[in-house]
């Protein structure tokens, strides 16, 4: 959704922009090409930082890449003595690079080690969490983060399976889930999809602190500065929607998107993974 990001962030105004989820560097590059004076780009995935650094090398000191979680943006700005920025982008969720890169464990399309960490340098893997969690914890995670109504059955199946052998690959994990979820006729999505989403969110603490992050970056926006957030599942979008509404009611920001902006049909045809994306934007009120 590069065109929509540019429309709402308006980098042609110039100034300093923060890309909180650099990925391969595409959004940061577009901001720099369309007028941003400088971009600070963050990503919690060290592989993404390396890719983005190569993508953005032509921009020299107009861009700075930092390996850190997007929720640490205030600390990043403080360390550089920056009190205000002109725009902030957060493109949340798992990236195409992470889904496609062998060995990451985000997808069950191939049999990979069950890792699922966005930041491969820290924290427990999905396999490690599945090996130690109790049934109630697993059921709660799968129900709350995956909205899987058969969460208890799936949790019980995981415990049964791990007594036989550790669950260490995506293929085995997906098979365990598929056998646990009752099927009635044609299923639009693979029965393992919701549980994979839930475990990925759990491993990466994707919903944790999202509302606080939005509040902190809104405070850092200069008057007229803009915030754009792209989400890929309903749980994230709900947090963003309600947090932005609460901040607008309290005064200080104005929501620019009455409804979430969704990708155009042409973009979905080019990139089917974009079909669930929702963009919301807000602007800091001028003093």
In the listed set 204, 224, 251, which residue is the last one of a domain according to the structure? Answer: 204
| Interval 204-232: pLDDT, tens | 999 999 999 999 999 999 999 999 999 99
Percent over 70 (pLDDT), the chain: 99
Contact yes or no for 156/128 (Cβ under 8 A): no
Locate tokens 């998107």: which residue? 257
Q: Say yes or no to pLDDT of 192 above 90.
A: yes
| Interval 155-174: pLDDT, tens | 999 999 999 999 999 999 99
Element (H, E) at 40: strand 38-43
Q: Are strands 38-43 and 63-67 parallel, antiparallel or unpaired?
A: parallel
Distance CA 162, CA 180 (A): 14
| Residue 238 belongs to some domain of the structure | yes
Q: What's the chain's average pLDDT?
A: 95
Tell me the mean pLDDT in the region 134-150: 97
| Residue 149 belongs to some domain of the structure | yes
Q: What are phi and psi of 196, to 5 degrees?
A: -60, -45
| 32 and 82 fall within a common domain | yes
Tell me the mean pLDDT in the region 255-263: 95
| 212 and 272 fall within a common domain | yes
| 122 and 157 fall within a common domain | yes
Q: Say yes or no to pLDDT of 10 above 80.
A: yes
Q: Say yes or no to pLDDT of 186 above 80.
A: no
| Interval 93-103: pLDDT, tens | 888 888 888 89
| 214 and 180 fall within a common domain | no
Report the number of distinct structural domains present in the chain.
2
The domain of 88 spans 2-93+208-284
> What band does 275 get if pLDDT is binned at 50, 70 and 90?
confident
| 76 and 218 fall within a common domain | yes
| 58 and 116 fall within a common domain | no
Tell me the mean pLDDT in the region 52-72: 96
| 21 and 163 fall within a common domain | no
> What band does 267 get if pLDDT is binned at 50, 70 and 90?
confident
| 125 and 199 fall within a common domain | yes
Q: Are strands 221-231 and 253-255 parallel, antiparallel or unpaired?
A: unpaired
Distance CA 72, CA 110 (A): 33
Contact yes or no for 59/32 (Cβ under 8 A): yes
């Amino acid at each position: 959704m590069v065109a929509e990001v540019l429309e709402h962030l308006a980098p042609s105004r110039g100034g300093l922009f923060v890309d909180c989820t650099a990925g391969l560097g595409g959004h940061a590059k577009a901001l720099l090409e369309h007028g941003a004076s400088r971009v600070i780009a963050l990503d919690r995935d060290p592989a993404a930082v390396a890719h983005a650094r190569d993508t953005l090398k032509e921009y020299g000191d107009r861009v700075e890449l930092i390996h850190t979680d997007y929720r640490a943006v205030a600390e990043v700005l403080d360390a550089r003595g920056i009190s205000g920025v002109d725009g902030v982008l957060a493109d949340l969720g798992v990236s195409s690079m992470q889904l496609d890169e062998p060995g990451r464990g985000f997808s069950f399309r191939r049999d990979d080690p069950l890792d699922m960490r966005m930041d491969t340098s820290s924290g427990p893997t999905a396999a490690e969490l599945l090996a130690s969690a109790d049934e109630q914890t697993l059921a709660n995670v799968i129900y709350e983060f995956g909205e899987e109504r058969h969460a208890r059955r799936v949790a019980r199946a995981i415990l049964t399976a791990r007594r036989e052998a550790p669950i260490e690959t995506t293929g085995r994990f997906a098979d365990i889930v598929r056998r646990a979820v009752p099927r009635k006729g044609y299923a639009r999505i693979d029965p393992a999809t919701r549980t994979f989403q839930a475990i990925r969110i759990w491993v990466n603490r994707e919903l944790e602190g999202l509302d606080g992050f939005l509040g902190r970056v809104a405070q850092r926006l200069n008057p007229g500065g803009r915030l754009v957030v792209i989400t890929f599942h309903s749980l994230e979008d709900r947090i963003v929607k309600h947090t932005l509404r609460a901040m607008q009611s309290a005064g200080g920001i104005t929501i620019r998107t009455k409804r979430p902006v969704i990708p155009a049909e042409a973009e979905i045809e080019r990139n089917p993974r974009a079909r669930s994306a929702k963009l919301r934007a807000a602007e800091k009120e001028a003093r």
